[in-house]
Amino acid sequence: MRILHIIPSLRKGGAERICMDICAELNKQSGIEVKLVCLNNLIEYETANAGYDIKHIPAFISLSLTKPAKYNIAGLDKLIQEFKPHIIHTHLFEAEIVSRSITYPQAKWFSHCHDNMHQLETFKLDTLTNKQKLTEYYERRYILKRYRVNGGNRFIAISKDAYQYFERVLPTDLRNVTLLSNAVNTARFTKPATHVRSTDVNTLHLVTVGTLVDKKNQSFLVDVVHELVKRKQAVHLHILGDGPNRKRLVEKTMHLDLQQHITFHGNVQHVQDYLWNSDIYVHGAYYEPFGLAMVEAMAAGLPVVSLDGKGNRDIIRNGENGYILPEQNKAAFADIIIALANNKTLYQQILEEGFKTAQQFDIVSYTQKLLALYQQALK
């Protein structure tokens, strides 16, 4: 079986991480040849020793309501025609719309729904008065047509929330949606017995992972640290990731005089090292399609305290394997952190249940389920 995965970039992000892990695990299976195509040169992950073929093939499509469409898909088309994949599996909307501009009904096409693609939203009353929504509705009509030209499409929803969204927005003839929660390589994040902590044990070390954008809501976590400091809690928050909100977050940190309590590490190569040197994983996102970083933290042996981002409801059972708060209440968030810090029995209980949960989302069993979907489609 020849399998082609397509993704816009390999920047530091959850969708990119799961894509690479899927390809690596598929490549271990006998009788399977895997290729991963990256459409632009934003490659932040180490790819030299991936073990499978990763290619950078520049490709884009630009649709306009008033101008002729622009296409640069010849290189991707050539690769598909030469590789002759049985399965084409795309990640994120840019890869979605670029790849479907190519006609290749010989393959079975899969769309990995890492989030609720707002470009597929149905027509609403405000669509005609909102330029962005009108453009996206045009893209929706275009891509639905391209799905049909290529013999249909299969959608993999990563959470119940995503599943419900795609069931709602897709027309009946294209409503082929499977719920298959994302997964992580738990072995990579499991703390080795020989690990020696490098951070001060007298300080409560919090860690969070995510691109610095509005929906990830790291600003709320800065407020939580401020609340903890006011309560005389020795605390340090490690923020992993980068993005357009970095300057604003740093300025807020300085304004609240929290420079000694918050470190912005940017994008890092080995997230697990920071998890292993921390005490609690915190997540402030008000929208989370699934919550890959939370599963990684659980696999690393950290209790998780999070806001309700909808998708992470599939992971966290409040008070059993972690905590999920329904609203942005910094005092309530801080209460839970302090309770975990002061109650070793509770801390260990949440940690152990979280670790068990992480094993349910392991990449090995995930890949077997994905392969079954591929084989079913080919039949």
Supply φ then ψ for residue 365, to 5 degrees. Answer: -65, -35
Same domain for 34 and 82, yes or no, is yes
Write the CATH number for 79.
3.40.50.2000
Measured between alpha carbons, how far is residue 318 from residues 84, 163, 181, 338 in Å?
Answer: 47, 22, 19, 16
**Prediction pTM value:** 0.90
- pLDDT at res. 58: 96
Contact 7, 111 (CB under 8 A): no
Q: How many domains does the chain have?
A: 2
Same domain for 89 and 211, yes or no, is no
Q: CB neighbours of 338 closer than 8 A, spacing ≥ 6? A: 228, 231, 233
Tokens of 320: 């059993």
Burial label, 191 (beta-carbon count in 10 A; 0-12, 13-18, 19+) = middle
Same domain for 123 and 227, yes or no, is no
Same domain for 168 and 192, yes or no, is no
Same domain for 219 and 120, yes or no, is no
Helix (H) or strand (E) holding 203: none
Same domain for 192 and 216, yes or no, is yes
Same domain for 254 and 318, yes or no, is yes
Same domain for 150 and 292, yes or no, is no
Same domain for 209 and 338, yes or no, is yes
- pLDDT at res. 48: 81
**Domain ranges, residue 279:** 186-359
Contact 32, 44 (CB under 8 A): no
User: What CA–CA distance (Å, rounded) separates 379 from 376?
Assistant: 5
User: What CA–CA distance (Å, rounded) separates 202 from 205?
Assistant: 9
Same domain for 10 and 152, yes or no, is yes
> Residue 288 pairs with which residues in a beta bridge?
310
Contact 29, 48 (CB under 8 A): no
- pLDDT at res. 269: 86
- pLDDT at res. 356: 97
Average pLDDT by consecutive 10-residue portion of the chain (379 residues)?
A: 97 91 95 96 86 95 86 96 98 96 97 95 88 91 96 96 96 97 95 93 96 97 98 98 97 98 95 97 96 97 97 96 97 98 98 97 96 96
User: What CA–CA distance (Å, rounded) separates 47 from 10?
Assistant: 9
Same domain for 131 and 237, yes or no, is no
Same domain for 170 and 306, yes or no, is no
